[in-house]
Structure 1
């Protein structure tokens, strides 16, 4: 199992706690990235929103791409999965920027392709906002251009949304055959596109059985298209405590979002802009990406059992959120990642003894 986390570029994940002790500053994300490598986290997702949908539109948030470039220079091992929204980026220019960051990082860049959902953000930044299926049609062309200019010089494309003529992009990315592409989505349109074009499928939090069903569906789609296996990741909010009473206390602290609060304002707009398989409650929405549904909440032993259930269903990595991020990630590393490492060492020793 790989353990990744969301970089808190919004200053936190809770819509009811104003100050989570993780400011959206370069100093904080730099310290978090460097320390997270030391304690065993090998993947960070850097989200892209120009407005802050967690703390409210007037709250600060960090730009994803300049942050990723800076982090590439101060980290050594961690995969940097940067979110990118086709409606906000020309694909050939983004490909150039991404190739440069890939070189800075030594081949550790990957992309999480997101078809935008927030109409107000697009309007405020002067970007067109299209209907759901039109956004995915744009994304399909966007990916064609991205892959084309990464993989060959003299690439040309003339589509409904994009046109490039005899493009040259040098240097090409370090990653081979190209930086990995991840995406998430629950609509039929999204799953068809992702299964055809991406290397990994990232999912909102949910029960292991529900996640397993989605993985089996995507595996069948890939097999029918003659494509190799994908990587599967799940968002999860982590709470590890020594007793049930402590867990309940923390859950109560983070889920009492009130109508009218800054973090509540775009709840209905978010629901309207997505096509989800299941209804999302306000409690689900209290933390980002339905992370509580994954159930990495409880004592260390309970969380270990839950992780094992996800692994049994085919999950390859988690993308964790917690609050405050660094302190809770230290706790997770001490109790879960260290235990995984020791278990792996014991298994390797037993295998060696059988040889």
Structure 2
């Protein structure tokens, strides 16, 4: 498994839908998360996009020099960027990071936000434009001179003088649930990401995308995007899930759900359907599959589900998804700094994590200062653990 984390560039906190103990997404805080995730051995971080977030490219650029191994999964948005401009940005960040750039192609989203960005194409037209965009982008990154005129795009004598480190280009990730999205993924992407739906639904999506890709002579990798609430026992984990939404009121839920309905994203509609909200927001109402909890989606767009349980429980559920063919897991938890440590410390030892940090030779002493018990300061913790 390759385990990614999430950079909360829209802000962070201990509770959903409330300003209580909220944290701004300033650079010092995002730096703390990136450095921690780098040190803990995560594969990389997903940086979100949208007008409620700090710009993903600038955030990634600012953190490259502050990390060593961490990869950055950055949003590539056809329509917001031109193909040539995106190619130059891709090449520069890939070279300056030493080949640590990954790209998350974002085609759709909230219709009001798209209009604010000057994008008025229909759902299917956006995918047609994205195909033309990526054709030009690929040709430029391959070092070719590009002359192209399509339905939506025209380029004359396009050139890129500085090549990327990764060949032929940084890997392309993408998530979408419509037929057009599946066909686009099958023909254009390196990896397909699904939000955390119940395993049977995820299996159907993977089978469809895989079949379409095979028909085009292509092979894709698959990934899953979801939240994690892991504690030492199942009971503690469910209590933490309840705590996360304790300050959400019905007005906030209604406002969020109304905004989700505005989106023409099939994936967002599928997420909203999992969130059965109303007078009762009990575990039973929101547990849509064993240990898969839709409480996050009450007020959060995008990924709205979390796996909840003890390390053993959550590891077993992740393994169920892995058996469907998923090897990339993009995880998150609130607040993201503390939960990055919790997930690494509790889950990594139970998972086949590619980039797990080797701490076998670490020596840690338990300090007896202020302790009324008997502590042997000469005994390394590793020797008694």
Alignment partner of 1:286 out of 271, 275, 299? 299
Does the C-alpha gap of structure 1 residues 116 and 79 become closer, same or farther in structure 2, counting only changes over 3 Å?
A: same
Do residues 110 (structure 1) and 123 (structure 2) align? no
The CA RMSD over aligned residues, in Å, is: 2.4
Per-residue displacement from partner, 1:36-80 (whole Å, max 9, x unpaired)?
A: 111121111111112x2xxxxxxxx31111111112222221221
State the distance in 2 between where 1:64 and 1:163 align: 26
**Secondary structure of residue in 2 paired with 1:97:** helix
Per the normalisation by structure 1, the TM-score is: 0.86
Question: Partner of 1:244 in structure 2?
Answer: 234
Question: Partner of 1:230 in structure 2?
Answer: 220
- Tell me which protein shows more helix as a share of its residues: 1
**Secondary structure of residue in 1 paired with 2:160:** coil
Does the C-alpha gap of structure 1 residues 130 and 344 become closer, same or farther in structure 2, counting only changes over 3 Å?
A: closer
Gaps of 5+ in 1: 53-60, 346-355
State the distance in 2 between where 1:17 and 1:122 align: 26
Per the normalisation by structure 2, the TM-score is: 0.80
User: 1:188 deviation in Å?
Assistant: 0.3
Question: Partner of 1:267 in structure 2?
Answer: 257
Per-residue displacement from partner, 1:165-194 (whole Å, max 9, x unpaired)?
A: 111101111111111011110100010011
Alignment partner of 2:61 out of 66, 69, 72? 69
8 Å CA contact 2:2–2:353 kept in 1: the answer is: no
| Greater C-alpha Rg | 2
Per-residue displacement from partner, 1:304-349 (whole Å, max 9, x unpaired)?
A: 111111111111111112001111110110111133369999xxxx
State the distance in 1 between where 2:339 and 2:183 align: 36
Question: Partner of 2:70 in structure 1?
Answer: 78
Question: Partner of 1:6 in structure 2?
Answer: 6
Further displaced range: 171-180 or 265-274? 265-274
Per-residue displacement from partner, 1:90-120 (whole Å, max 9, x unpaired)?
A: 1110110111000011111111111132232
Gaps of 5+ in 2: 278-294, 357-385
Does the C-alpha gap of structure 1 residues 272 and 114 become closer, same or farther in structure 2, counting only changes over 3 Å?
A: same
Do residues 89 (structure 1) and 95 (structure 2) align? no
8 Å CA contact 1:20–1:324 kept in 2: the answer is: no
Alignment partner of 2:161 out of 167, 170, 173? 170
8 Å CA contact 2:311–2:346 kept in 1: the answer is: yes
User: 1:252 deviation in Å?
Assistant: 1.9
Per-residue displacement from partner, 1:181-223 (whole Å, max 9, x unpaired)?
A: 1111010001001110000001111122322222222221111
Question: Partner of 1:337 in structure 2?
Answer: 348
State the distance in 2 between where 1:77 and 1:240 align: 25
